[in-house]
């Protein structure tokens, strides 16, 4: 089943996706509330909603499916790391530490955008990039979950585009902290939330979800990969996040960018030049993941803001002068 949040005629609703469009859930319902109710209860609510009238998808503005308590973004594709290390930090190869355990950072849940929303270039950036990913959404609270427990706790999946300002990111990483503003402008989540039971038949012999992923810019394909090329399956990512910690129903766990052109920076690192070029206003980025759907966002100019002030020279006095 597929659950969506959407805006129609000035009203925000939660609904279930049917063959004829979006079927509204009760007015008080939210997708986050459904996730917290558990998959069996959510499927029952969705089945009841499908008995009601539908609104064509073309009539609505798709919103991010839910408002998650937190968003963790992993870096689970080795091929992506190979290219991006060369592009962003000037290094070569995959750091040995990558193989030891999954790595993630927290990103901003307040800047999630919908499947067809415009995305502005971050202020001050000239190297704007996309990142083709899939995200898992947790279905119940937990702590120190085993991979088996984590697998049963995943409610569903959506496409995730971690928009990235590569020039801002490169400066931040030189300080050995971040990414921060390089990843803080927008992330697309959508087009809806596909429940985990729908994708279970697509697991390969190693237990990975073998979903085809593709991204194009202005109708020209830039990257294509399989989600099963991840170094760890989602249940191990979720288990690691919960290790000695607590995670909550509705939390988003993104896979990190796929390889083979899942972002421009990977290609820049491999080719030694910025081909294809950084995203420009008017560019349309489209991502499709098998079994989930398609998102499509148009790049817009940056908001005009004054430049950031550099740090002042510090006298490092240890006592007050007055």
pLDDT in tens, 234-270: 999 999 999 999 999 999 999 999 999 999 999 999 9
Q: 143: buried, middle or exposed (CB in 10 Å: 19+, 13-18, 0-12)?
A: exposed
Query: Does residue 183 have a pLDDT over 80?
Result: yes
pLDDT tens for 8-25 read: 999 999 999 999 999 999
> Which backbone phi and psi does 11 adopt, to 5 degrees?
-120, 140
Question: What integer pLDDT is reported at residue 174 of this predicted model?
Answer: 87
Least Cα distance to 240 among 318, 143, 168, 156 occurs for 143
Verdict on whether the full-model pTM lies above 0.85: yes
Q: What integer pLDDT is reported at residue 60 of this predicted model?
A: 98
> Which residue, 68, 70, 52, 51, is CA-closest to 5?
68
Give the least confident one: 52-56, 68-72, 197-201, 303-307: 303-307
- Position with higher pLDDT, 268 vs 177: 268
Q: List C-alpha distances in Å: 59 to 8, 68, 152, 189, 194.
A: 7, 25, 35, 19, 21
Go through 111-120 and write b for each residue having 16 or more CB atoms within 10 A of its CB, e for each that does not: ebbbbbbebb
DSSP 87-149: III---S--HHHHHS--EEEE-GGGEE-TT--EEPPTT-S-EE--EEEEEEE-S-EES--HHH
What residues does each domain of the chain span? 2-63, 71-300
* CATH architecture assignment, domain 71-300: Alpha-Beta Complex (3.90)
What tens digit of pLDDT does each residue of 100-147 get?
A: 999 999 999 999 999 999 999 999 999 999 999 999 999 999 999 999
- Looking at per-residue pLDDT, the higher value among 105 and 176 belongs to 105
Q: What are phi and psi of 268, to 5 degrees?
A: -60, -40
Go through 152-181 and write b for each residue having 16 or more CB atoms within 10 A of its CB, e for each that does not: ebbbbbbbbbbbbbbbbbbebeeeeebbbb
State phi, psi for 200 to the nearest 5 degrees.
Answer: -55, -40
């Amino acid at each position: 089943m597929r659950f969506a949040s959407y805006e129609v005629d000035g009203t925000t609703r939660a609904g279930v996706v049917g063959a004829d469009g979006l079927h509204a859930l009760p007015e008080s319902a939210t997708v986050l509330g459904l996730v917290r109710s558990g998959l069996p209860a959510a499927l029952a609510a969705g089945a009841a909603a499908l008995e009601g009238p539908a609104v064509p998808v073309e009539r609505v503005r798709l919103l991010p499916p839910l408002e998650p308590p937190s968003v963790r973004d992993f870096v689970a594709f080795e091929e992506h790391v190979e290219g991006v290390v060369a592009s962003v930090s000037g290094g070569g190869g995959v750091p040995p530490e990558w193989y030891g355990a999954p790595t993630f950072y927290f990103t901003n849940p307040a800047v999630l955008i919908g499947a067809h929303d415009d995305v502005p270039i971050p202020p001050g950036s000239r190297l704007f990039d996309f990142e083709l990913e899939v995200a898992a959404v947790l279905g119940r609270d937990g702590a120190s979950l085993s991979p088996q427990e984590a697998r049963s706790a995943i409610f569903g999946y959506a496409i995730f585009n971690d928009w990235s300002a590569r020039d801002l990111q490169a400066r931040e990483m030189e300080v050995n902290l971040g990414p921060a503003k390089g990843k803080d402008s927008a992330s697309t989540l959508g087009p809806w939330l596909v429940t985990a039971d729908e994708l279970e038949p697509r697991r390969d012999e190693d237990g990975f979800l073998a979903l085809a992923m593709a991204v194009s810019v202005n109708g020209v394909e830039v990257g294509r990969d399989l989600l099963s090329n991840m170094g760890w399956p989602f249940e191990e990512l979720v288990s690691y996040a919960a290790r000695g910690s607590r995670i909550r129903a509705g939390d988003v766990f993104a896979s990190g960018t796929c390889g083979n052109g899942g972002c421009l920076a990977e290609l820049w690192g491999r080719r030694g030049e910025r081909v294809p070029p950084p995203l420009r206003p008017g560019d349309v980025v489209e991502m499709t993941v098998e079994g989930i759907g398609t998102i499509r966002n148009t790049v817009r100019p940056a908001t005009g803001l004054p430049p950031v002030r550099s740090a002042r020279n510090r006298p490092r006095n240890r006592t007050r002068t007055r």
